[in-house]
Amino acid sequence: MGLFNRLFRQKPPPDVPMERVSESVATMEQYLRGIMSHYGGAHFQGDTQAKEILSVYSFGGITALALQHQMSPPQAHAVCLALFTSFFGFEPPDAANKAQAVITAAPDKTSHLYRIIHRGADGFLHWQQHSDDGAAKDFAEIMDHFKNFKKKEG
């Protein structure tokens, strides 16, 4: 059973202390700041596409952390909502819609978000193990793909 199925389709584990949720948000913020720094913070100032794609990518890391900390799905959802509102600056209703979209997309191999989420999980696990810029390079590669696609369309 896949990473996301384990989180969202199994009987939820007992709730872990709420401090784990706060710690997870702080860990994700550190991870995402590193990606943004490597990719170039200016890209996120006016470019909503970069922010949108990074939020989808981040959900892979959120899921990996939730599994590591044995969080319940509502706790993982709380981490996601906190990041989407405080870190990414999405309005709460928009953050809730985006969170639902990535939760729905994570196990759906036909979703256009599926690969980004799963690459985000791999990137996060790599970052935890190596503390390098591998995830940031992976994110930059994803963004290059989107830029090239825009050029072909335009």
Q: What is the pLDDT of residues 10-38, one digit of tens each?
A: 555 566 677 888 999 999 999 999 999 99
pLDDT of residue 11: 55
pLDDT of residue 68: 93
Distance CA 148, CA 146 (A): 5
Quick one: how far is CA 52 from the chain centroid? 10
pLDDT of residue 19: 84
Q: Which of 60, 79, 49 is nearest to 117 (CA)?
A: 60
Write out the two tokens for 90: 């999405």
**For the segment 56-98, what is each residue's pLDDT rounded down to a tens digit?**
999 999 999 999 999 989 999 999 999 999 999 999 999 999 9
At residue 1 the predicted structure's pLDDT band, cuts being 50, 70 and 90, is very low
